[in-house]
Amino acid sequence: MPALIAPSILAADFANLQRDIEMINKSDADWLHIDIMDGMFVPNISFGMPVMAAIQKHSTKPLDVHLMIEQPERYLETFKELGAFQITVHLESCKHLHRTIQQIKALGIKAGVALNPHSNIQELEYVISNLDLVCVMSVNPGFGGQKFIPLTYEKVSHLKEMIVTRGSEALVQVDGGINEEIGVKLANRGADVLVAGSFIFNSKDPIATISDLKKKLNELEQ
């Protein structure tokens, strides 16, 4: 299966949020990636429940919610009610990671775990079989528009090996600094989902940008 494309709404024009969401609806994108930041786990604040409710109202794409927050277990049910089909929490913010994964699963939605650039994928070895997704951060989380960290390629390859070895069905997602060239290289290394923000929303024609990337990813499967 070709890698999926998940535009990050963090890079949208928030003064024209409905317009940008409807644009993504018309595109070949697979998911809509939503970063929730609390200003504590990461040094930035994005948006919370009211904006998430507005996104749910207008989006026809599955809502992939990435919680960059402290104690994410407090808000799992709320974001499920706001339309998340999948919730990803950070390894670094969960004191009891396995318990949090089970809480997400109990809500009837998919569970993901994100890793900051410095985190070792081996820390997921004993929960990988419970996961639907692992999000590899290819920039330091908190702000859009950052430069891709090249060591991510190696990390993705090793993560894919772990997933196969453990018999897990988890998808490998990569988030941060992705463009067409990087996206294709990541897909060749085993990435299943590409999160792209500035590359898409800052382009002259976001729909065409998504379409061109999708075409490149499809070619890899032929």
Cα(132)–Cα(172) distance, integer angstroms: 9
What is the pLDDT averaged over residues 100-128? 96
Give me the numbers of helices (H) and strands (E) for the chain, helices first please.
8, 8
Check pLDDT > 90 for residue 107: yes
When mean pLDDT is compared across 4-13, 36-45, 61-70, 137-146, the lowest value belongs to 137-146
Hey, what domains does the chain have and what are their CATH numbers?
Answer: 4-220 (3.20.20.70)
**Does position 23 have pLDDT exceeding 80, yes or no?**
yes
* Nearest partner of 32 among 54, 43, 41, judged by Cα: 54
- In whole angstroms, what is the distance from residue 182 CA to residue 173 CA? 13
Band of residue 142 on the pLDDT scale cut at 50, 70, 90: low
Q: What is the mean pLDDT of residues 96-120?
A: 97
Give 48-54's long-range contacts (Cβ < 8 A, gap of 24+).
49/78, 49/82, 51/17, 52/79, 52/82, 52/83, 53/82, 54/17, 54/18
pTM: 0.95
Average pLDDT in the chain:
94
Task: Spot the catalytic one: 20, 30, 35, 192.
Answer: 35
**192 included as an active-site residue:** no
- Which residue in the list 20, 30, 64, 175 is annotated as catalytic? 175
Q: Report the percent of the chain where pLDDT is more than 70.
A: 97
